[in-house]
Chains A and B, each alone.
Chain A
Amino acid sequence: EAGVAQSPRYKIIEKRQSVAFWCNPISGHATLYWYQQILGQGPKLLIQFQNNGVVDDSQLPKDRFSAERLKGVDSTLKIQPAKLEDSAVYLCASSLSGLYQETQYFGPGTRLLVL
């Protein structure tokens, strides 16, 4: 079974530029998550989708971050404009139905460096 796919794996941009990350969840998984993992910290949930609807985006900095999951499969996370403090690994995860205590499967992440 293929895992969660993410691209690109690495991205270097200058502050104020824009960047987009792509995620393809495990086939059949209805729930998709985007996490931000700053160096030395645990992952922090940015947004959770159930199919193509948003369940939780309470920690998404909406003035600069946006995410969509068209057709309830792939998802993109965009940052515009980027700030230095956005340097982090952006992890995508998926789960079968988003039910309580269900295992989340993580992708390898996209490492972003903002200069």
Chain B
Amino acid sequence: QQQVKQSPQSLIVQKGGISIINCAYENTAFDYFPWYQQFPGKGPALLIAIRPDVSEKKEGRFTISFNKSAKQFSLHIMDSQPGDSATYFCAASDSWGKLQFGAGTQVVVTP
């Protein structure tokens, strides 16, 4: 049973465009929401994370938006670059710290 649902499975965006990935969860005990970036042949690496006491967090071109009432959160990649081409995973954890990952979104940024 997947506790974090992620969409879309894949997306193609032109260089300079905006990539948007959405995630939804049901477990209201989740209170930490990280995003991981994974390049082919590499392990996932933490990109950015948010706690539910804030509605938005921005780090460079990456922004997380969080809607606690809807139990949804999203990643926005602004001014997408070819180097951003990777698979992105949302995740969630409760106070026990066990991460539940979404299925992943493969992002391709075309030149």
On A, residues with C-beta under 8 Å from B are 4, 40-45, 48, 56, 91, 93, 98-109
Contact = CB atoms under 8 A, between A and B. Distances in A.
Interface residues of B, number: 23
B101 A106 contact: no
Contacts of B51: 101
Contact of A40 (B41, B93, B98, B104): B104
Nearest to B44: A106
Nearest to B90: A42
A42 B41 contact: no
Contacts of B6: 42
B60 interface: no
Contacts of B41: 108
A41 B2 CA distance: 10
A99 B49 CA distance: 15
Nearest to B6: A42
Interface string B87-103: 00101010111110111
B18 interface: no
Contact of A44 (B96, B97, B101, B104): B101
A45 B98 contact: yes
Contacts of B44: 43, 91, 106
Contact of B97 (A101, A107, A109): A101
Given A99-B97, A100-B97, A101-B93, A4 B43 contact: yes
22 contacts: A40-B104, A42-B89, A42-B101, A42-B104, A43-B101, A44-B101, A48-B98, A56-B98, A91-B43, A93-B43, A98-B97, A99-B97, A100-B95, A101-B49, A101-B51, A101-B93, A102-B97, A104-B46, A104-B99, A106-B43, A108-B41, A108-B42
A84 B63 CA distance: 39
B104 A41 contact: yes
B62 interface: no
